[in-house]
Structure 1
Amino acid sequence: MNTRVASAILLASSIGLAACSKKAPEDLPPPPVETETPTTTPTTPTGPSLGSQAHFENAVNGQNVIYFDTDRYNIDSADAAALQTQAQYLARYPQISITIEGHADERGTREYNLALGERRANAAKNYLVGLGVDAARVRTVSYGKERPIALASNEAAWAQNRRAVSVVVN
């Protein structure tokens, strides 16, 4: 009797499933139309990418470095013009932040030159903030005499090493 019941259940299930199956439509949709995809040539940027140090230096016409007199950290008129150009760049690109690196020449103690480099970097930062740049976008660091750009021990080399350099932070 179990075999007959099982056969009846199997037959009822098969009939139920057959009643649920879909029939193929009489009219099929047309095949997809082939369209030509336009070929595009990849564009390469014509200059340095936004947010890079090269982009910053190009935009400020290389005025990302300001120079100081011996034992001084005041902003003179040439420095002010360079910092105004930097402030305009930072206003145009509010997503970019910078670090101002303060440097000194080789004369003086390490401690004195680190303090002088810090005062130079802070003087540049304060000038930018005075021009409307958000202080949170400008960091400062002092390298003192540890990272000279000119290695000679003469006035020309010392003049190149007494500087504050603005560097883009990624």
Structure 2
Amino acid sequence: MIANVKTLLPALLCVSILSLSGCGSKSKTDEAMKTVDTGEAMGATESLDSTPRGISEGRTSEGMLPVYFNYDSSDIKSDQVPRIEVNAAFMKSNPDLSIRIEGNCDARGTNEYNMALGERRALAGKKYLLNLGIDEAKLSTVSYGEERMLLHGHDELSWAQNRRDDFVVVE
């Protein structure tokens, strides 16, 4: 009985597959996939006069630089002061722009701790810019904690790149 099942089962499987697959009509499929060109545009016309803002480094908008932090710290290091001064100069030369400072952390620590640390980092960047004469109304902050990592490695280089403030133009 078992020998009959062993030979009958593969045969039934093959017959089932062949009968379920069927033979589709290729011409019907090809016809359904053709696009109809009506000569109209696919969407609304956009102006080409706008000045797109790209990303310079990290997730920071072009014209500014991210600021990096030491492990478990929200203090702006002395080697990062020139970077934040570049950001202040950019903001002063573009007073119509609003900037969001995004605090980020590496993956070490709990989510709650990293959200709080990211907030302290964003607020430290904002405070430094305020001291450099930037209008507070043009600045906002957000913490992403470890949610927006640039590098997902488990080494010091990856962690160091993820401990940063990004400065993003908001429109």
The AA in structure 2 aligned to 1:124 is G
1:49 matched to 2:51? The reply is yes
Between the two proteins, the alignment pairs up a number of residues equal to: 121
Distance, in Å, in 1 between the alignment partners of 2:107 and 2:62 is 30
Residue 105 of structure 1: CA displacement? 0.6
Structure 2 spans left out of the alignment, 5+ residues: 1-47
Secondary structure at the counterpart of residue 59 of structure 1: coil
Distance, in Å, in 1 between the alignment partners of 2:61 and 2:144 is 21
Aligned to 1:102: 103
Given that residues 103 and 143 in structure 1 are in contact (C-alpha distance below 8 angstroms), is that contact kept between their aligned partners in structure 2? yes
Distance, in Å, in 1 between the alignment partners of 2:62 and 2:157 is 25
Residue 54 of structure 1: CA displacement? 4.9
Distance, in Å, in 2 between the alignment partners of 1:138 and 1:92 is 15
Distance, in Å, in 1 between the alignment partners of 2:63 and 2:168 is 13
Residue 78 of structure 1: CA displacement? 2.4
1:59 matched to 2:63? The reply is yes
Given that residues 61 and 167 in structure 2 are in contact (C-alpha distance below 8 angstroms), is that contact kept between their aligned partners in structure 1? no
Which structure's CA Rg is the greater one? 1
Per-residue CA deviation, residues 35-75 of structure 1 (Å, 9 max, x unaligned), is xxxxxxxxx87xx827x345985434xx2x11111100111
Structure 1 runs (4+) deviating above 4 angstroms are 53-58
RMSD: 2.0
Residue 77 of structure 1: CA displacement? 2.0
Aligned to 1:143: 144
Structure 1 spans left out of the alignment, 5+ residues: 1-43
The AA in structure 2 aligned to 1:105 is D
TM-score by length of structure 2 reads 0.65
Percent of matched pairs sharing the same residue:
42
Given that residues 53 and 167 in structure 1 are in contact (C-alpha distance below 8 angstroms), is that contact kept between their aligned partners in structure 2? no
Secondary structure at the counterpart of residue 67 of structure 2: strand
Aligned to 1:23: none
